[in-house]
Structure 1
């Protein structure tokens, strides 16, 4: 097992080893991912979130074992990069890689189990959520900072931004599921709208989000909100086409 630690948490190695030994039968399940397993643990008072990435197929096992960084390694490195730029994400602790002769078998990412008040998608499903519009407006500043750093977060979905209210009434935001990012010299207006559009198709949310973002970017609010909703509608249409195609290809399941 190859192990890489944040130096400040190297002394937790034995406890992290024990967590993996009993990973399937202990801890608390976090979410219900189809491909990866995420569980939370207490390691001598340290709240630990462990993401176990699905075993890659034969070809990908070779690729991630010898030629490309694993998802766990990218998650760890991107988390450190974000924190160095002042962008919120749970504290990274370590990553483990289980390798055999033919490449990568399993990989694990250890980070802080973050205490939160909700996720961005909470704002869609709970219209009466306290401070809802203020949270949306403050999240616009969070994404604006990310884009200004030239970071395109590829999995920018409503479940991958967490938020927590501070004692002063302001909000902290945290990105999770970090293994897919692109880095640019700068990000265009269209790229920004397209990236934000992954969060939700909700028109009311996008209106508040787009208005707040446009003010920060100093562009016409109507223009940006229209572009944001257009991109959100395109993503929804693409999703619907895929769903209809899957139904046709799996028609036999209806009989």
Structure 2
């Protein structure tokens, strides 16, 4: 196993190796998805989150071996880039990969465990959440600053922004970082970046109004564009969901 450690934890290599070797047997499960697992471990006095990526299919085993950086490596490097630009994410600690001569195998990303107060998803689920409008405006300000710095977070979705309440205001932390692009963002790209966040038009209206004010954009154009991309995504999402349901039905009958 190859392990790359951030300079802040260069003296923790042996301990990190032990955590990875015991990943299956130890740790507290935080997320057990079909593609990835996240477990919480103790490292010295701190809690760390270890994300284990699913072993890729045969094509990607070759691609990640010879052509592309792994999801774990990209998560680690993008986290460092975000922090260098002042965009918050749980502090990266290390990434690890297992490879053979010809194929890529397992990979892991390790970062600080952040005990957030909520995720953006809570604002969708609870329309009466305290200070909901203020949080949405602050989130929009955060996204605008990110766009201004040329950061295009391709997985800008409800579960991928952790929110921490401060004495004054809120801090926003990005997670699930392996899909990002960097460079100037035009208006339509900025609007499309909101498309996966919520199906609720009233939330889009709040964010579009705030974003138009921040960027000096026409309000009606901003609302229209942001909502158009949102409905386009929702339609594709539900078509895909319906297709999966049909395929499952055909397989079982």
TM-score (norm 2): 0.96
Q: Number of matched residues?
A: 253
* RMSD of aligned residue pairs (Cα, Å): 1.3
Find the partner of 1:201 among 199, 202, 211: 199
* Unmatched segments (≥5 aa) in structure 2: none
| Cα-to-partner distance string for 1:43-67 (whole Å, 9 max, x where unaligned) | 1211101011111122211211122
Shift of 1:223: 1.9
* Unmatched segments (≥5 aa) in structure 1: none
| Cα-to-partner distance string for 1:97-127 (whole Å, 9 max, x where unaligned) | 1111222111110101012111111110122
Paired position in structure 2 for 1:145: 145
Report whether the alignment pairs 1:181 with 2:183. Answer: no
TM-score (norm 1): 0.95
Paired position in structure 1 for 2:131: 131
Q: Give the distance between the partners of 1:203 and 1:29, measured in 2 at CA.
A: 35
Paired position in structure 1 for 2:54: 54
Paired position in structure 1 for 2:221: 223
Shift of 1:254: 5.7
Q: Give the distance between the partners of 2:146 and 2:31, measured in 1 at CA.
A: 25
Find the partner of 1:239 among 229, 237, 240: 237
Shift of 1:32: 3.6
More displaced 10-residue stretch of structure 1: 38-47 or 82-91? 38-47
Report whether the alignment pairs 1:112 with 2:112. Answer: yes
Paired position in structure 2 for 1:211: 209
| Cα-to-partner distance string for 1:168-212 (whole Å, 9 max, x where unaligned) | x2110001000011222x211111111111111111211111111
| Cα-to-partner distance string for 1:127-186 (whole Å, 9 max, x where unaligned) | 22222111110000111111111221111111001110112x2110001000011222x2
Paired position in structure 2 for 1:249: 247
Does structure 2 conserve the Cα–Cα contact (< 8 Å) formed by 1:91 and 1:112? yes
Q: Give the distance between the partners of 1:27 and 1:128, measured in 2 at CA.
A: 35
Q: Which runs of 4+ in 1 moved over 6 A?
A: none
Shift of 1:80: 0.4
Shift of 1:253: 4.7
| Cα-to-partner distance string for 1:70-94 (whole Å, 9 max, x where unaligned) | 1100000000000000001110001
